[in-house]
Structure 1
């Protein structure tokens, strides 16, 4: 089943008292073990990403000066981020309803889960935690163009929800904000948070021969299903962040109509109209399917 990753809250949890689902981060309540998990993850990714993540991501890590040995305090992080792009990080209890998520983005607030994974979950966690949300997302929010794109996505999400086409727009978020690659003079670089916050997917997305790497095309992406349980079978590649920002000026109405008349594409499909940068072998996912 396809998920937006920012959909209804997990389980049957009641929403918090605040209508926007924000809660106090409770920074003072983190344990030494929880801070140690952050430190392990941060040190591992900060050694791996230079030369693999795009320059804008690395610059955001440096400019925000996030704590390396303890979970960042959202209040202090927001003060620094706010001076750069006007964004703030707000704590939420987990996944939030779509309309809440979009409203936060539209108002330059990034909702981040305040819990952190257990030591035995370092390599995979389905629900985004504070490391994924803060380490993975916040460095790019320090980039002015990407920050504008995220605000535009929030506004577009509210419109898409009213039109009943949210699944198509969610795929754009998935294949850009979460699992996007960018092409530069040095080759491919990571900017998607789902890759940047994962040691194993960082290597898989750039260096493994299995996945397809295809030039980003809006309508193609809107038709493409994605994996929520494993590495992606296809990654879409942009040439610049300005390319994403141009999406804010497009009338999505006719695009939604065209896409609605076409079939969805499976995650590993190569479409005849694709500009294929790397045609993957598909070996990884073929092996996984055989085992299953």
Structure 2
């Protein structure tokens, strides 16, 4: 499950795929993503020329919020995932999707994990929230309430929206790494966008293989931390 980064194994096709995804999403998110994501990408010097090295990102991350990236082979058990978060480590996959999978991938790849999740870990409040989520996630497993923790994670960390001074913005990694959902979540009249309520979020059904029918809107990352 836990592995070593083998960056040198990426092919030129892999780096080209990263470049296409990066340029498409960074352009799309300029007026759609929370400012903290744009700032995080800049601070981490994540760019379009090649897939970033975890070692380079970790050097900056550790300095900013004492978080680091742990390379994993794919999905890991929930208890290990939450354990990593509780010690300020974020597990990331080490493969990238094929060029034919640009718009949809069933499991997270390095673009989803690094472009989607890592920029917000530069934010001190959000990184504290993620550490706390790890601890609370472990408690939820012990209490037989994993389903509720997983659902809350889905509607915040993966598919959350935030009300900013500039209007509704994206912060969830599942949205920021998806071209289609980046547009749909803000522009479509189909989904409902609800003021964030943790109990309601935990009891709401989510969709893995389609755009969400419901999005929860937070006021700030401090609100997320306080509610947790």
Shorter-chain-normalised TM-score: which range?
over 0.9
Structure 1, unpaired ranges of 5+: 1-20, 249-292
- Match among 117, 142, 147 for residue 137 of structure 1: 117
Q: Does 1:58 align with 2:38?
A: yes
Structure 2 counterpart of 1:195: 175
What are the within-5 Å matches in structure 2 for residues 225-264 of structure 1?
A: 225-248=205-228
Structure 2 counterpart of 1:256: none
Structure 2 counterpart of 1:186: 166
Structure 1 counterpart of 2:151: 171
The structure that is helix-richer by fraction is 2
**Could you tell me how far 1:67 is from its partner in structure 2?**
3.4
CA RMSD, Structure 1 to Structure 2 (Å) = 0.7
Distance in 2, matches of 1:160 and 1:96, equals 17
Structure whose CA Rg is larger: 1
Alignment length, in residue pairs? 228
Greater relative contact order: 1 or 2 (C-alpha under 8 angstroms, separation 6 or more)? 2
Q: Does 1:100 align with 2:80?
A: yes
Q: Does 1:87 align with 2:35?
A: no
Structure 2 counterpart of 1:15: none
**Could you tell me how far 1:22 is from its partner in structure 2?**
1.7
Structure 2 counterpart of 1:146: 126
After TM superposition, the score normalised by the length of structure 2 is: 0.98
Structure 2 counterpart of 1:128: 108
**Could you tell me how far 1:234 is from its partner in structure 2?**
0.5
Structure 2, unpaired ranges of 5+: none
Q: Secondary structure at the match of 2:118?
A: helix
Moved over 2 A (4+): none
- Match among 14, 26, 33 for residue 6 of structure 2: 26
